[in-house]
Amino acid sequence: MLLRINFKPVSCFSSFPKAHTFFGAFCHGLKMLFGEQVLLEFLRAYEKEPPLLFSTTLPYREGRLFLPKPQLSYGNYEPNSVEEYKKFKRIKKMGYVSEEVFKEVLEGRLKTYKDLLEKNAESVKPYEEFLMPHASINRITSTTEGGEFFTERVYTLSSFACLVKVKDSFRQMAKGWGVEDMGLFIQRAFELVGLGGNRSCGMGWSKVKVEEEKGWIKDYMEKGGSKFITLSETFYDRAFILEKSLYDLEVLKPAVEMSYMDYLPVVWKRKLLMLKAGSVLRVEEGKLYGSLKKVVEYESLRIYHYGLAFPVYMEEGS
């Protein structure tokens, strides 16, 4: 089953949501709905077969979905003018492409950045960012006297989605918890907790609606193969044949989510190196790529970071 979670923001966000943001939000929602033991059962399931796979943020405009721009080769392209170079640079810096363009890449009809340039590929900017002013408050006098002025970077997003691949093993697991409607259950989990930090200050909230995704992308997810584009940020996997892949890297140092736990003397997770969504990966065939990593261990507490690939398979020979 492939579900699409649609978010219509009603506030700004403290960070741009990624696959691990959706995973973390679902985990906290699951705990609030069914308790900690159910959450632990869910996490243990990832040791065998991931029960759920989450994509990164997928913007949509007027009903059209935009997907992470695939990493493509440069080919032998050399711009013939300054104007052509500027157009090529715009294509290279794009973060997302339309469904139609993404599908053509999967089918092997678009193979290089030059092809995207000639296609005049359409893109969208997934967010706007600005600095929000704050003043430190003296909690004793409830005034700003003696405090300081500072700013915080925040993000505004238009409507966006997240794809969730629901494995049969999770559907059976959820039945044991009394879940009858999978879409409504996942929708409720996200409605309870929001996305990202500073939610108690009003950030990270959206109207949420879940529907089953029945479009072409589901077929490309299920076909399998030895080459795919990942729709999520992923940790390195030994099955990746990097010398035959096209990928980009990012370094993260995420904050520890502390809204639903007692005091913890750990504020940040350790630095993490991940492959970006849109990476085109050649693999030794398997069922699971990436991992769910334990990144903080304090007494009996374990904190994980989500880094599983969300494969959409390409035509052989593309």
**DSSP characters for 133-190?**
EEE--BTTTTB-TT--EEEEEEEEE-SEEEEEEE-HHHHHHHHHTT---HHHHHHHHH
**Tally of structural domains, the chain:** 1
Return the pLDDT at 318.
62
Binned at pLDDT 50, 70 and 90, residue 115 comes out as confident
In a domain, 84, yes or no: no
Write down the pLDDT at residue 127: 85
Mean pLDDT of the chain: 88
Measured CA to CA, the distance from residue 305 to residue 271 in angstroms comes to 11
Euclidean distance between CA atoms 97 and 60, whole angstroms: 11
Return the higher-pLDDT residue of 258 and 103. Answer: 103
| Residue 308, number of CB atoms within 10 A of its CB | 25
**pLDDT for 41:** 94
Q: What is the DSSP secondary structure assignment for residue 110, as one 8-state letter?
A: -
Tell me the mean pLDDT in the region 292-297: 85
Given a cut of 70, is residue 78 above it in pLDDT?
Answer: yes
pLDDT band at 139 (very low <50, low <70, confident <90, very high): low
- Print burial letters for 28-41: b (CB count within 10 Å at least 16), e (below 16): bbbbeebeeebbee
Give the residues across from 272 on adjacent strands: 252
Strands of 62-126, DSSP E:
64-68, 96-98
Residue 88 included in any domain: no
pLDDT at 90 over 90: no
Percent of the chain scored above 90 by pLDDT?
Answer: 55
Rounded to whole angstroms, the Cα distance separating 205 from 217 reads: 27
* Nearest-angstrom CA–CA distance, 57 and 124: 12
User: Is 293 a domain residue?
Assistant: yes
Q: What is the tens place of the pLDDT at every residue in 174-218?
A: 999 999 999 999 999 999 998 988 787 788 899 999 999 988 999
Task: List CB contacts of 48: < 8 A, sequence separation 6 or more.
Answer: none
43 located within any domain: yes
The percent of residues in the chain predicted with pLDDT above 70, rounded, is: 93
Over range 89-117, report the average pLDDT. 90
Determine, yes or no, domain membership for 224.
Answer: yes
Asked whether residue 76 is assigned to any structural domain, the reply reads no
Range of 185's domain? 2-57+126-313
Between 302 and 42, the more confident residue is 42
Range scoring the smallest mean pLDDT among 95-99, 133-137, 140-144, 169-173: 140-144
- Range with lowest mean pLDDT among 160-169, 218-227, 233-242: 218-227
Q: In terms of Cα–Cα distance, which of 10, 1, 2 is closest to 208?
A: 10
In a domain, 203, yes or no: yes
Buried b or exposed e, range 102-115, using 16+ CB within 10 angstroms: bbbbbeeebeebbb
Residue 248 inside a domain? The answer is: yes
Residue 116 CB contacts under 8 Å (≥ 6 apart), including other chains: 72, 91, 94, 97, 101, 110
